[in-house]
Chains A and B, each alone.
Chain A
Amino acid sequence: EVHLAESGGGLVQPGGSLRLSCVCSGFRFSDFAMSWVRQIPGKGPEWVSGIRGNGARTYYADSVRGRFTTFRDNYNNMVYLQMNSLGVDDSATYYCAKEMAATGVPIFDFWGRGTQVTVSS
């Protein structure tokens, strides 16, 4: 059974940093790209970042490029989102999502339960 579990969310001041983690199980982790998707209550999701199965390439939404970094540890089946220079507009529930292929197919067939990030002074 596929299982994704995020952690690392919390309350942070504007300009601060957080690192989100996602532990994955139930599938051959390195065979699939992974993404981070965020959502504000009552709104549609927003794709944030993705990383290929082998970790060789990462992708970012314009809204986070230069501030967020995604990386993965294929030995321990983990994917991370390092978030720097956080602003109030970054407040959301952040989901880790599995893609359907190693690269180029951002269809999210499994999602974690999400972790809440609140940016506030």
Chain B
Amino acid sequence: EIALTQSPDTLSLSPGERVTLSCRASQNVPGNKLVWYQQKPGQAPRLLIYDTFKRATGIPDRFSGSGSGTDFALTIARLEPEDFAVYFCQQYGGAVTFGGGTKAEMK
């Protein structure tokens, strides 16, 4: 099973900032099949990025994904108030696993 570790657990940020969230896999993710979701309190996760860098339908271009092998990142170019949330990575190169999440909170 490929374990995903997200860091840091929490980031304190201000609107307008640029932020990069990390997702590290315990072994190479085959095909770079890495996905990112956003989750707000009381809501289901929302698909943001799939296959490392492809934006899902309707996702603003301030969200971008990058990486390969074991190291992946989600970058938000300029934080909007609605972007304060928890972000999870998921891989499906092997049996599906999720990371523990990074919370982007307002400073």
Contacts and interface: CB of A to CB of B under 8 A. Distances in A.
The yes or no verdict on A and B being binding partners is: yes
B35 A107 contact: yes
B92 A105 contact: yes
A80 to B, nearest CB: 19
Give the interface size bracket for A toward B. Answer: 10 to 19
B95 A61 contact: yes
B98 A46 contact: yes
A100 B47 CA distance: 11
B44 A47 contact: no
A45 B45 contact: yes
A52 B80 CA distance: 37
A95 B44 contact: yes
Contact of A44 (B43, B56, B95, B98): B98
20 contacts: A44-B4, A44-B6, A44-B88, A44-B99, A44-B100, A44-B101, A45-B88, A45-B90, A46-B98, A47-B97, A47-B98, A95-B44, A100-B50, A105-B92, A108-B45, A108-B47, A110-B47, A112-B44, A113-B44, A114-B44
Q: A-B pairs with the 3 shortest C-beta distances? A: A111-B44, A47-B96, A44-B98
